[in-house]
Each structure stands twice: as structure tokens, then as C-alpha cells.
């Protein structure tokens, strides 16, 4: 592929050059101007054998839950198949689709301004807001929903506050609105974090070039910035959609009849794993449909830099008087997404203090949480890289299917993944069953897409020709990747690791079913207390969960900024 073809490409404005930079990358990319055969970009035919083998191995393991579902569904009676086509099943399918679309749209709409404010503007306290706006992701959805209800529910805090003004009833929170509100509030960070990774990697000189060519601010945004951010938005949006699809905690507390409810009824009430498996397969079909839709949005645009020179950070936007409404927006979202659950937990804590509840030492659960989340982030990111690299660089049917395969587990409820690994673990790997490695494996299967999506989006921004040039200068493929691509893509890859870390911190069903016996985490402690209405005992682990996560996310995001 030649540079001239790049320039003629549709979609994006290319840079003309930026002479400010002095780095290895610059030397590398100037060599890239030469028309070399064996270009790494968008090869349609041959895939690199080692990378492909690695990716195939990872995806096969990630498809274990699907294999389990097929085994179980094969045992379903013919009558069960008929049950799938009942009108009420179709009605809850419609419910779930509607909720998924609404939450995804709202999350993107919320994450875009937040990401912009916390990456490219001079918002006061920007670094602190960066951490705080990512934090709602660690709130378990049942805790989040509980907090939302405590404030906005009938007879909640807000109604009590407004009661002197004669407000007897608030608008109904239960149902679609409550589920939509809660899920948006606690999942938008998926988009925010992937988006930040992309924004930080964006080459400011692209926007400058567009301005020089006479485009106004809106035109630059629509024709330059947004197209470059689109893979990240789509990747984050997909994670939001899959989370919404697989969530049970928030929809059940908000009394919204989503599809997961039907699956849980089968597990919990009739112990019918075959019918539950059939229903879960419907979720797999959903997931594939969502992936197909996401892939349609990708189009054929390229988002890596084509020009020479190293990228220049995007110009900082001076907010001026606009910083006040901006602050109000960010503070408002943080107050709802972090302040609300923390406040409710603190209230539980005050009660426990008042009733003399002993505050049990929670160092061990905290160490377990950090360990499990840290190892899961590491393992999942490592497993995701081969898939992300292939997906970013090659157009090939196998690659498309590998990427889709890696997402299958994410649309399933955690309990389904957990039971599938119980099935395979106890039967075929008893020496690994109920050990830390299998637990980490379970997390990796469930959260693989969080790392794949984010890594792929950031790798797309690194021109394959840089790596190619490094190889032209005599580096081996691995060294070229390590010296050139990895440092450039690292912020986005770190964002993916952060996503995995935060979601593992709150994960429950896999931890309960696959962890070593007696392996308690902060999330299982919160569950253990709230499940039997010992709310006071949930306070300390809930607050520690937020605290430990915010410290960790602070570290990860610093990495992100470099």
C-alpha cells in the first residue's frame, strides 16, 4: 500500500507533516514513505502464523461457555424449544433490546462531553475528575440500584425532602426508566475510558491541518475528530450494550422484565439447566447481532496517522467562563454515580456504628480483591493482544470470527459462565478446580472483550507502517512491536486493563462459584451482608471497594496520560 493511496482515502483528513518532533518514531516513519512490499496493513490473504495460532487458542478457550450451552441445550425437551417462541418470551426480548439501545445511546451521550472535558480542556481539578468520573464502574449494579432507589424511590430521601412542599409522589422510578437511569449511570465509564485512550492518542496536528484548510470548529469535530474517535466509541458502546444485556442486579431491583430475569427464574426456581441454556443461547444470538452492527459502523476508514513526524497532543481548550457549567456537569454526574452509593454505604456504616456492630477486619478480602483484579487485568490483557492486533491489522474472515468469538462470553450472565466452567473444571481439570488460576481464567473469559475492544481501538491509531519501517531498519517483528507499536498503543491498552480491573473488583457469580473455597473479596462481603439485609455490615466493604478502586484507577490513569 502506498502513501498516495492513503491520501486519496475517503473519510479522514491527513496531516501534511509536523516538524516539531524528534524521536525514533520519526525516523521510522520517514522510511515508511518508501513504497515497500510486505506491508503489514490490511493484508487480505496471509495471516502471521504465530499470532494467529495464539489468537485461535485464546478464542477457543473463550468459547467454552458456548460449548457448555450447546451440551445443555441438546438435552432440552422438544417442549422447551416451543417455550422459546411464546409471545411473552418475545416481549421480554423486545424489552431487553429496547433497554440495551437506550442505555448505550445515553452512555455515549454522557461519556463524550465528560471525556472531552477531562482530556483536552483546562477544567479545574481535571486529574481528580478523571479518576472520579471513571469510578461508577466499580459500583456493583445491585448496590447502585439500591442507592438510586433510596434517593429517588417512593418515600425515598428526595420525596422526604420535597414533602414539606406538598410533593406526595415522585414520578415512578420502577420499570424502564429506573433500569435505564441506573445502568447508564454505572456503565458510561466503559465509553469514557476507551474514549480517553483514543483522545490522548489523537494527533493534534490533524485538527490544525483541517483548520488551516478552512474548516470551522464544528466541521473539524465532525470531519476529523469524531471519525478518529469512532472505533473507541463503538468499542465502549459495545461493552455498555453487552453489560446491559447480561445485567441482572439492576433490572431486578428496578422491576424491569429483562431477558436475564427469565434465565434466572430457570436456574433459581426450577433447577432446569437445559431451558436456561436455551434462553442463554438467545443472548448469544443478541450478542452476535450487536457485534455485526458494531462492525457495520467501522466502515473502511483508517484512523492511524499517515504523515511523518511524531504526533502532537491535541491543543488544550481554554474553557473560560464555560468552566462553571462544565464543572456543574462533571460534579453532577460524580455526585450521582459515586456520591450516591458512597453516601448510602456511609449511612449504613453510621447505623452499624450506632448499633454497635463490630467492624470485622477486612484486610484479607481487600487483598483478595486487589490480587484477583490485578491478575485478571494482566491475564486478560495479555490474552486479548493477539486478537486485538489481528483485528486492527488484518481484514480476513477468520479474524472477524475470532473477534466475534472473543465477545460471546460478555453478553451472558455471569452465572452462566460460572456454571459452564464448573462443568468443565470439575470434570476435566479437577486439579485446577476451585483454585486461583481457574478463577482468573473465568474472569478472562467473561471480560476478554473489555481488553480486546480498547486495545484494538488504540492499535488502529498506530500506523502499521511505523512498525514496518522499524523492521526495515533491521528489527525482528517482536522487537519492532516492543519498541514501536507497544509504546504508542500503551495508553489504550492500559485503559483496557483498567476496565477489566474495575469490573473484576465488583464481580460476584464467578467469584462465588469458581474461587478457592473461603476466598472472600470485597464484592462477596457486600453480597453476603446485603443478601440477608445486614446492611450495616455491607458499609465497610462497600466503602473499601470504592477507595481501593479509586487508588488503583488513579495509578492506571496516570499511566494512561503519559
Q: Report in angstroms how near the CB of residue 385 gets to another protein at its nearest.
A: 14
Q: Report in angstroms how near the CB of residue 337 gets to another protein at its nearest.
A: 22
Q: What is the CB-side half-sphere exposure of residue 411 using CA atoms within 13 A?
A: 28
Q: Report in angstroms how near the CB of residue 494 gets to another protein at its nearest.
A: 5
- Please name the residue that has the C-alpha cell 471519525: 227
CA dihedral 18, 19, 20, 23 (to 10 degrees): 100
Q: Give bridge partners of residue 121 from the DSSP assignment.
A: 317
Residue 117 or 538 with smaller CB distance to another protein: 538
Residue 286 or 535 with smaller CB distance to another protein: 535
Q: Report in angstroms how near the CB of residue 467 gets to another protein at its nearest.
A: 16
Task: Pull the grid cell for residue 319.
Answer: 474553557
- Please name the residue that has the C-alpha cell 477486619: 361
Task: Pull the grid cell for residue 188.
Answer: 458510561
Task: Pull the grid cell for residue 537.
Answer: 455490615
Q: Report in angstroms how near the CB of residue 30 gets to another protein at its nearest.
A: 21
Q: Pick the closest to residue 246 from 68, 510, 484 (CA basis).
A: 510
Q: Report in angstroms how near the CB of residue 397 gets to another protein at its nearest.
A: 34
Residue 110 or 544 with smaller CB distance to another protein: 544
Residue 220 or 373 with smaller CB distance to another protein: 373
Q: Report in angstroms how near the CB of residue 473 gets to another protein at its nearest.
A: 16
Q: Report in angstroms how near the CB of residue 98 gets to another protein at its nearest.
A: 14
Neighbours of 195 (CB within 10 A): 28
Q: Pick the closest to residue 497 from 369, 372, 380 (CA basis).
A: 380
Residue 135 or 262 with smaller CB distance to another protein: 262
- Please name the residue that has the C-alpha cell 458512597: 342
Sign of the alpha-carbon dihedral angle for 525, 136, 259, 443: negative
Q: Pick the closest to residue 283 from 170, 394, 415, 186 (CA basis).
A: 415
Q: Pick the closest to residue 217 from 145, 311, 144, 116 (CA basis).
A: 116
- Please name the residue that has the C-alpha cell 433500569: 179
Q: Report in angstroms how near the CB of residue 67 gets to another protein at its nearest.
A: 13
Residue 70 or 109 with smaller CB distance to another protein: 70
Phi then psi dihedrals of residue 43, to 5 deg: -65, 135
For the chain, the distance separating the N- and C-terminal CA atoms, rounded to the nearest angstrom, is 31
Residue 396 or 446 with smaller CB distance to another protein: 446
Q: Report in angstroms how near the CB of residue 180 gets to another protein at its nearest.
A: 17
Residue 199 or 267 with smaller CB distance to another protein: 267
Neighbours of 17 (CB within 10 A): 11
Pairwise CA distance, residues 553 & 556, whole Å: 5
Residue 333 or 388 with smaller CB distance to another protein: 388
The answer to whether residues 193 and 138 touch, using CB atoms and an 8 Å cutoff, is no
Residue 227 or 414 with smaller CB distance to another protein: 414
How many residues in total does the chain contain? 562
Amino acid at each position: 500500500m502506498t502513501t498516495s493511496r492513503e491520501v486519496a482515502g475517503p473519510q479522514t483528513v491527513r496531516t501534511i507533516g509536523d516538524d516539531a518532533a524528534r524521536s525514533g518514531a520519526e525516523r521510522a516513519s520517514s522510511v515508511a514513505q518508501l513504497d515497500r512490499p510486505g506491508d503489514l496493513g490490511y493484508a487480505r490473504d496471509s495471516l502471521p502464523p504465530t499470532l494467529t495460532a495464539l489468537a485461535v487458542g485464546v478464542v477457543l478457550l473463550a468459547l467454552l461457555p458456548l460449548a457448555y450451552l450447546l451440551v445443555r441445550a441438546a438435552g432440552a425437551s422438544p417442549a422447551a424449544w416451543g417455550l422459546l417462541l411464546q409471545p411473552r418470551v418475545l416481549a421480554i426480548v423486545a424489552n431487553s433490546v429496547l433497554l440495551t439501545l437506550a442505555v448505550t445511546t445515553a452512555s455515549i451521550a454522557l461519556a463524550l462531553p465528560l471525556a472531552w472535558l477531562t482530556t483536552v480542556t483546562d477544567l479545574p481539578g481535571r486529574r481528580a475528575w478523571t479518576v472520579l468520573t471513571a469510578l461508577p464502574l466499580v459500583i456493583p449494579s445491585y448496590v447502585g440500584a439500591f442507592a438510586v432507589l433510596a434517593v429517588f424511590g417512593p418515600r425515598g430521601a428526595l420525596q422526604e425532602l420535597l414533602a414539606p412542599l406538598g410533593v406526595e409522589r415522585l414520578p415512578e422510578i420502577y420499570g424502564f426508566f429506573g433500569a435505564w437511569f441506573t445502568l447508564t449511570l454505572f456503565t458510561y465509564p466503559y465509553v469514557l475510558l476507551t474514549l480517553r485512550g483514543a483522545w490522548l492518542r489523537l494527533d493534534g496536528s490533524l485538527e490544525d491541518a483541517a483548520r488551516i484548510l478552512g474548516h470551522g470548529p464544528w466541521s473539524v469535530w465532525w470531519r476529523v475528530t469524531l471519525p478518529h474517535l469512532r472505533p473507541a466509541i463503538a468499542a465502549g458502546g459495545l461493552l455498555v450494550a453487552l453489560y446491559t444485556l447480561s445485567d441482572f442486579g439492576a433490572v431486578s431491583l428496578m422491576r424491569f422484565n429483562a431477558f436475564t430475569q427469565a434465565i434466572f427464574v430457570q436456574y433459581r426456581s426450577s433447577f432446569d439447566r437445559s431451558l436456561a441454556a436455551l434462553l442463554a443461547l438467545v443472548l448469544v444470538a443478541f450478542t452476535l447481532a450487536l457485534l455485526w452492527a458494531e462492525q457495520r459502523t467501522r466502515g473502511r476508514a483508517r484512523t492511524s496517522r499517515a504523515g511523518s513526524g511524531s504526533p502532537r497532543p491535541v491543543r488544550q481548550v481554554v474553557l473560560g467562563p464555560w468552566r462553571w457549567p462544565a464543572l456543574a456537569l462533571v460534579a453532577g454526574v460524580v455526585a450521582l454515580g459515586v456520591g450516591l452509593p458512597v453516601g448510602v454505604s456511609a449511612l449504613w456504616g453510621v447505623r452499624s456504628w450506632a448499633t454497635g456492630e463490630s467492624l470485622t477486619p477486612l484486610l484479607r478480602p481487600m487483598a483478595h480483591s486487589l490480587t484477583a483484579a490485578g491478575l485478571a487485568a494482566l491475564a486478560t490483557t495479555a490474552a486479548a493482544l493477539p486478537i486485538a492486533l489481528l483485528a486492527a491489522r488484518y481484514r480476513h474472515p477468520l479474524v472477524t470470527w475470532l473477534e466475534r468469538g472473543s465477545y460471546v462470553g460478555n453478553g451472558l450472565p455471569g452465572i452462566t459462565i460460572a456454571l459452564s466452567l464448573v462443568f468443565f473444571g470439575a470434570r476435566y481439570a479437577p486439579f485446577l478446580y476451585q483454585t486461583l488460576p481457574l478463577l482468573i481464567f473465568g474472569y478472562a473469559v467473561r471480560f476478554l472483550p473489555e481488553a480486546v475492544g480498547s486495545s484494538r481501538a488504540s492499535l488502529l491509531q498506530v500506523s502499521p507502517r511505523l512498525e514496518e519501517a522499524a523492521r526495515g531498519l533491521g528489527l525482528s517483528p517482536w522487537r519492532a512491536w516492543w519498541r514501536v507499536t507497544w509504546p504508542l498503543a500503551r495508553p489504550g491498552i492500559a485503559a483496557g486493563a483498567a476496565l477489566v480491573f474495575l469490573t473484576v473488583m465488583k464481580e460476584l457469580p464467578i467469584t462465588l462459584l469458581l474461587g478457592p473455597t473461603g476466598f472472600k473479596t470485597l464484592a462477596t462481603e457486600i453480597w453476603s451482608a446485603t443478601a440477608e439485609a445486614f446492611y450495616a455490615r455491607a458499609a465497610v466493604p462497600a466503602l473499601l471497594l470504592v477507595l481501593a478502586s479509586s487508588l488503583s484507577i488513579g495509578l492506571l490513569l496516570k499511566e494512561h496520560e503519559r
